[in-house]
Amino acid sequence: MHPIRMVDLKRQYVRLRTEIDESIQKAIDSTAFINGPDVHSFSAELSAYLDVEHVIPCGNGTDALQVALMAIDLEPGDEVITTPFSFIASIEVIKLLRLVPVLVDIDPLTFNLDPLQLEAAISDKTRAIIPVHLFGQCADMESILEIAGKHGLKVIEDTAQAIGAEYIFSDARRMKAGTIGTIGCASFFPSKNLGCYGDGGAIITRDPDLHVQIRTIVNHGSRVKYYYEEVGVNSRLDTLQAAILRVKLRYLDDFNAARQEAAAAYDRLLGSVSRLRIPARASWSTHIFHQYTLIIEGAERDNLCDYLRSRDIPAMIYYPLSLHLQKAYRHLNYGEGDFPVTESMSKTVFSIPMHTELETEQIEYICHHIKEFLNR
């Protein structure tokens, strides 16, 4: 059995080595290191894959969120709603732009922003909502879009963990995560479902005006070289990363299918274990398992993770401390008890290895040791 890793980028690379090396070599030979042809091709190929008009590559997923917020013309003090159960980037960019993050608790089944609690958080200063499609499954976008529409709010999807997931509307129409709201934000951080070998990100939109605006912002606020229309940033996808992503995009559906297969195997082995809750599947989304996240009842979560690690099984907590309780965000004046579902999740969730190279033997070994711990 191969050593078990949380994400096995090495074995995936070895499998794709010929194609990836060739693509990287071509990019180097071209010496078009900044905004080279691979960047444009990748942008076009990702647009086609997502079935969306515009994909603007950028430096990373955090930049994508920041640029998305810059593109919708907000004023300092405007409120942006998001979830406290996410990676820090979702709230960080709101603060950086002198906007006010307003948090809404999550739905305990999908870990995503709870639309039933959304309206109570909307004020006359609210301008946008950032739902995060956490762990590879879409938030309840139909409900969120309906509320956003009623209040004239923009919806910026954080699809860093859900590239390739599909949202299923109640009339059976399907749309890819990140193409449903006003703007979608993707990350190509190496461990993401579509990961490069460094930093990378993209901003997704159907709106032609926003497309122009976003392209301008990521390019120092410039449309014509050395003429600046507004204050922008420098956020580019590296040509070498684009060369890698072009190869990996061709495998994205296979990658996501491999993750789904691993998840199904985990489900079979862990589904009936008492005190353990396997990931719930929303009726409105496919799940591409950026993470396979379980909930364990009782106060044994950390002991279980230590036990697994002692058997060379990595286990991670996403996320151990809710955003509203982080030191850097104390000034938001939230406190313990404000988001009970999120707080309870941060004490009971744990994620087990999930990637494209998991073998049956590894999955069985992992599940065997989880059960062994619970049956002690």
Ligand X SMILES: *Cc1c(COP(=O)(O)O)cnc(C)c1O
Residues near ligand X (CB under 6 A) are 60-62, 86-87, 89-90, 132, 158, 160-161, 187, 189, 199, 201
Q: Which two tokens stand for residue 67?
A: 């640029």
d(CA 179, CA 103): 23
Q: In the structure encoding, which two tokens stand for residue 80, read together? A: 């942006």
DSSP 163: T
Beta bridge partner(s), residue 130: 82
**CB of 37 or CB of 198, closer to ligand X:** 198
Nearer to ligand X, 92 or 343 (CB): 92
Which is closer to ligand X, CB of 161 or CB of 205? 161
R_g (Cα) of the chain, nearest Å: 21
Cβ at position 90, least distance to ligand X in Å = 5
Peptide bond into 266 cis (omega under 30): no
Amino acid found at 242: A
Residue type, 109: L
Nearer Cβ to ligand X, position 351 or 362? 351
Amino acid in the structure at residue 20: I
Distances, alpha carbon 198 to alpha carbons 213, 236, 320, in Å: 26, 12, 25
Q: Which residue is nearest to ligand X (CB)?
A: 61
Give the separation between CA 316 and CA 358, rounded to whole angstroms.
Answer: 16
Residue closer to ligand X, measured from CB, 356 or 362:
356
Neighbours of 28 (CB within 10 A): 14
The residue (of 87 and 350) whose beta carbon lies closer to ligand X is 87
Six token digits for residue 204: 């997704």
CB of 158 to ligand X, least distance (A): 5
Closer residue to ligand X in complex, CB, 189/307: 189
Q: How far is the CB of 185 from ligand X (least distance, A)?
A: 7
Q: How far is the CB of 86 from ligand X (least distance, A)?
A: 5
Backbone angles phi, psi at 100, to 5 degrees: -110, 115
Minimum CB distance to ligand X, residue 91 (Å): 10
Distance CA 262, CA 223 (A): 46
Nearer to ligand X, 59 or 304 (CB): 59
**DSSP H or E segment with residue 365:** helix 360-374
Smallest gap from residue 351 Cβ to ligand X (A): 12
CA 133, 164, 143: angle at the middle one, nearest 5? 40
> In the complex, what is the shortest distance from the CB of residue 327 to ligand X, in angstroms, rounded to a whole number?
20
Centre a 10 Å sphere on the Cβ of residue 1 and count the other Cβ atoms it contains.
10
Q: How far is the CB of 65 from ligand X (least distance, A)?
A: 6
